[in-house]
Amino acid sequence: MTTPGCAGSGVSPASLTATAGLVPVRVEPERVIRQVAGLRPYRPSGFVLRVERLAEKVIVHDYGHGGGGVSLSWGTAHLAALEAQQTGHSRAAVIGCGAVGLATARLLQRRGWQVAVYARDLPPETTSNMAGAQWSPTGVFDPALATPAFEAQFQQASRTAYRMFQDLTGPYYGVRWVDNYMVSDEPIATERFQELLPDLYPDVEDIPPRANPFGTRYGRRFATMMIEPPVYLNAVMRDFLLAGGRLVVRHFRDRGELASLEEPVVMNCAGLGSRDLFGDPELVPAKGQLTVLRPQPEVDYIYIDLREFLYMIPRADGILLGGTFETGVWSLDPDPAHAQRIIEGHRRVFGRMRRDAYR
């Protein structure tokens, strides 16, 4: 999780007002309600969006979104739905009931398709439930490996998703706009994904040290959306069922099993499961561990500390404290050493927070 670039950024009196009096998170061991970990489906060269034939079936792949799958979901689903539309069919099996599968299922329904979702796990058991989720397609690809064709697809998907999530703001879907604070003692660099999407972060401002509540040399505030996955995924699943969708709990052990499905088009949104199902060794887990504190409704901003990769996301079901991004690690067990680093790091940050920084 990182920050947008500062194209056009500057310090304005408006930012000083907007960031005045941020409420610190109460990082106390007795407020910890759970420790959890999730495995991001990471592909260094980027997600897969392509069509393949398997005997009589058309398979449309849409998987491997790394640390930005909730953010990108409607965007890649839109591109996948365009591919499905080319087949001339109107019945699809969607494999996977995470953010990507559900968005895909809904977009096909909106085009008049009959859709069944088949999944081994349903919310709240998916990786998508683990996401923060900050709207920001970060941790999705390694810039050294991404091709121009992938970057073009990434830009298109990001812009579509950014627009579509705006239509979902409000309590029903659990989507809202929040301020994000990014801090560091080094100048904050612009990452490749931010260079590709400057228009998606229109409200970015640098914060001068005297006005920085986190006391670091550099600070930046930007606005983006935040999605509450437990609320959001249930709402989209409800929409899917209300529109006549069929939900089947099923674990596909290999791609041959897909041949038995009655639907002629299969949308592969199996996330990390695609590695075994379709034999893609580039797809690896990037483990993310979270320490969750009791909810603190008065905290309504996201915080990202670049000094040692710590982040805080205030969800209704708890304050999420991260972060880790461990590629190749398959264990879902929280690591005690990471848990200690996360809690101690956030305790230092919020213990020193200045509430008068903007006065």
Ligand X SMILES: Cc1cc2nc3c(=O)[nH]c(=O)nc-3n(C[C@H](O)[C@H](O)[C@H](O)COP(=O)(O)OP(=O)(O)OC[C@H]3O[C@@H](n4cnc5c(N)ncnc54)[C@H](O)[C@@H]3O)c2cc1C
Residue closer to ligand X by CB (options 6, 312) is 312
- The H or E element containing residue 314 is strand 310-315
Question: Structure tokens of 108?
Answer: 């096909």
Which residues lie across from 272 on neighbouring strands? none
| Residue closest to ligand X when measured from CB atoms | 273
Residue closer to ligand X by CB (options 62, 211) is 62
User: Closest separation between CB of residue 133 and ligand X, Å?
Assistant: 4
- Strand-by-strand arrangement of the 265-268 sheet: 48-54, 57-63, 265-268, 91-95, 114-119, 246-249
User: Closest separation between CB of residue 359 and ligand X, Å?
Assistant: 31
Interaction of residue 266 with ligand X, rule CB under 6 A: no
- The H or E element containing residue 342 is helix 336-351
Specify the amino acid at residue 137.
P
User: Closest separation between CB of residue 181 and ligand X, Å?
Assistant: 15
The interface region with ligand X, picked from 68-76, 107-115, 207-215, 293-301 by CB under 6 A, is: 68-76
Quick one: which of 4, 46, 101, 285 contacts ligand X (CB under 6 A)? 101
Interaction of residue 22 with ligand X, rule CB under 6 A: no
Residue closer to ligand X by CB (options 161, 349) is 161
Interaction of residue 38 with ligand X, rule CB under 6 A: yes
287-316 residues in contact with ligand X (CB under 6 A) are: 288, 290
DSSP for 210-265? GG-TT--SEEEEEEEEEE-HHHHHHHHHHHHHHTT-EEEE---SSGGGGGG-S-SE
The candidate with the shortest Cα–Cα distance to 300, out of 288, 316, 285, is 316
Residue closer to ligand X by CB (options 11, 316) is 316
125-154 residues in contact with ligand X (CB under 6 A) are: 126-128, 130-134
The interface region with ligand X, picked from 20-28, 35-43, 107-115, 205-213 by CB under 6 A, is: 35-43
Cβ contact 120:97 at 8 Å: no
Q: 332 Cβ partners below 8 Å, 6+ apart?
A: 37, 38, 39, 287
Interaction of residue 69 with ligand X, rule CB under 6 A: yes
The size of the interface with ligand X (CB under 6 A), counted in residues, is 42
Interaction of residue 252 with ligand X, rule CB under 6 A: yes
Question: Structure tokens of 228?
Answer: 């509450």
Interaction of residue 100 with ligand X, rule CB under 6 A: yes
Specify the amino acid at residue 267.
M
Cβ contact 102:240 at 8 Å: yes
Residue closer to ligand X by CB (options 100, 284) is 100
Binding interface with ligand X (CB under 6 A): 1, 38, 40-41, 63, 65-71, 95-101, 118-121, 126-128, 130-134, 251-252, 269-273, 277, 288, 290, 322
